[in-house]
Structure 1
């Protein structure tokens, strides 16, 4: 993940998502060349911008097509915590056709985050039926 301020991003992810910083490599001038955080069981690597190497943040290129998915015990609580930490609510928490209860927030660093709690295991076949029904105007 390339961000416009890796030190601030790490602090935000700790507060919003309960991330744990594993380590960071900092240039003498202060720019973060590499950092690793863990959210749940997932390790994410990030760095400050390095335009000369093509590493530009979402803000520098007009946004990001990337959305992360975090499994949480309670989606409502997780979304509230993220918003309180400075995230923007993109999609309110609701039950999904694929078995999760989830919502989406955008962090101040240009990425979107699904915060999802599993409610039921749904087979791919059942997901397809529910999705088709939803797209045809029925309930999911």
Structure 2
């Protein structure tokens, strides 16, 4: 499971969740994520202090909350994680089957993409889109 992670550049989302190990498993099922690094914390709760995922060629870092270290639980708000995929219908069906909730159904948008939004059980909002071939 742990492999040499890629050299990171640009902006990489790092989100805290209650249940990072469960989120990693969900993102693997729903989004085809690969877990590159998993660092468990030294407690009986099974919390992860760090988890590095690769999703659709991009990187996502997740960890549990650690109130004892100043990282109190907060509800996700004000952001959407976006995946530009070759086949939005297939990616969408996989995510919905894994339990993601539809927020905005897939539709043809004014900028040309077929686009929709989902929310996972952790409250994280995801958008998926495909640019149709001309």
TM-score, scaled relative to structure 1: 0.77
Q: What is residue 109 of structure 1 aligned with on the other side? A: 122
Q: Which residue in the other structure is 1:91 paired with?
A: 104
List, as ranges, runs of 4+ consecutive aligned residues in structure 1 with deviation greater than 6 Å: none
Q: How many residues align?
A: 118
Query: Aligned residue for 2:33?
Result: 19
TM-score by length of 2: 0.81
Residue number in structure 2 paired with 1:45:
61
Q: What RMSD over aligned residues (CA atoms) do the two structures have, in Å?
A: 1.7
Which of the pair has more CA radius of gyration?
1
Which stretches in structure 1 are left out of the alignment for 5+ residues? 122-140
Spell out, residue by residue over 1:91-115, the C-alpha distance to the aligned partner (whole angstroms, 9 max, x if none).
Answer: 1001111121111110111110001
Structure 2: gaps of 5 or more residues: 1-14
Larger helix proportion of the pair: 1
